């Protein structure tokens, strides 16, 4: 919970001259909460891409619980500061770190924070299911949530088949989006629906196309695959299709592939681009690919689970 001093600091966020002080003060105040909270946040919950949870817990006994929304206010003000572009590099790093902590508490936890435009508690009814594709429509489509079922599993720390009728669960309104900054070799994940607040979630490191070959512009996610076959490029010394698990396979431990399709004048018509895991983690932070965006295994799990077909955009900036 924020004390009165923190609230006053957050209120200054509307003035550009106070932004730097806001970041320093918020980080200083929140660091006093003690190591126990930091340890409990860790790296956040993990869901195996494809829909099954990394654990088999049943969540809290009472399901989703609504709690006061002061952390949502802090999240909103810090996101405004980040997206203003007016923070010094060290201040922006501190803000992003705190915002990832806040995302794990306000988005990717079973608790629902009052006043959050992107989450709500919902009591499952008999026969309902969460599924986001295939067979009978699930709540992801009927409620137009615009997020993968895996993201909601991540928040509730329970796999979709274990959701029970008569219990309340946390739901997320999306979509999540990504923006890649080529000069920083970084991808920022944020949450925004329509004209709602642009809410920063997390930054991850990326590898990019050699000689600047990753095209600038706007893209939309059009497909996602696990254990994706790999076609080696010319000049690699390899030939033919290489399947997941075979020698020289290049797409990492899980073979995750997120297909992106161009949506503006600079990208429309471009073919073969995507976001994928890599078997060469040393390529992260470098220009070595043929234009695709590479992520470490520990990072692409998260990105794969939050980006949604036909709704999540990916913007590549200088």
> Residue 32 is encoded by which pair of tokens?
């006093």
The pLDDT of residue 28 is 47
CATH class name, domain 176-317: mainly beta
Kindly state the DSSP code that residue 228 receives in the 8-state scheme: -
Q: Give the contacts of 166 (CB within 8 A, at least 6 positions apart).
A: 123, 124
The pLDDT of residue 49 is 61
Q: What are phi and psi of 72, to 5 degrees?
A: -65, -40
Average pLDDT per 10 consecutive residues for the chain, totaling 318 residues: 45 44 49 38 45 41 77 97 96 98 98 97 94 83 96 96 94 98 98 96 97 96 94 76 90 93 95 92 93 94 97 98
Instruction: Give the domain ranges of the chain.
Output: 1-42+66-109, 176-317
Distance of CA 151 to the CA centre of its chain: 9
CB 83 within 8 A of CB 24: no
């Amino acid at each position: 919970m924020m004390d009165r001093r923190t609230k006053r600091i957050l209120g200054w966020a509307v003035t550009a001259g106070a932004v730097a002080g806001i970041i320093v003060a918020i980080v200083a105040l929140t660091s006093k909460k003690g190591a126990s909270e930091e340890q409990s946040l860790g790296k956040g919950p993990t869901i195996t891409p494809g829909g099954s949870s990394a654990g088999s817990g049943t969540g809290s006994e009472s399901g989703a619980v609504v709690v006061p929304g002061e952390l949502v206010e802090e999240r909103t003000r810090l996101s405004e500061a980040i997206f203003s572009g007016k923070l010094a590099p060290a201040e922006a790093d501190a803000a992003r770190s705190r915002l990832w902590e806040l995302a794990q508490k306000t988005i990717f936890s079973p608790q629902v924070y009052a006043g959050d435009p992107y989450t709500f508690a919902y009591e499952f009814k008999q026969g309902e299911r969460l599924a986001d594709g295939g067979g009978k429509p699930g709540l992801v489509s009927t409620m137009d949530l615009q997020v993968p079922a895996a993201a909601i599993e991540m928040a509730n720390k329970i796999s979709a088949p274990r959701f029970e009728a008569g219990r309340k669960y946390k739901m997320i309104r999306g979509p999540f989006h990504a923006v890649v900054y080529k000069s920083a070799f970084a991808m920022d994940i944020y949450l925004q629906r329509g004209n709602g607040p642009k809410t920063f979630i997390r930054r991850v490191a990326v590898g990019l196309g050699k000689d600047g070959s990753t095209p600038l512009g706007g893209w939309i996610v059009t497909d996602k695959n696990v254990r994706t076959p790999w076609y080696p490029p010319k000049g690699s010394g390899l030939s033919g299709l290489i399947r997941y698990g075979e020698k020289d396979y290049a797409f990492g431990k899980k073979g995750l592939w997120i297909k992106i399709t161009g949506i503006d004048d600079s990208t429309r018509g471009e073919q073969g681009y995507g976001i994928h895991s890599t078997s060469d983690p040393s390529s992260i932070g470098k220009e070595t690919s043929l234009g695709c965006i590479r992520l470490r295994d520990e990072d692409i799990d998260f990105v794969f689970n939050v980006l949604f077909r036909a709704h999540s955009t990916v913007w590549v900036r200088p």
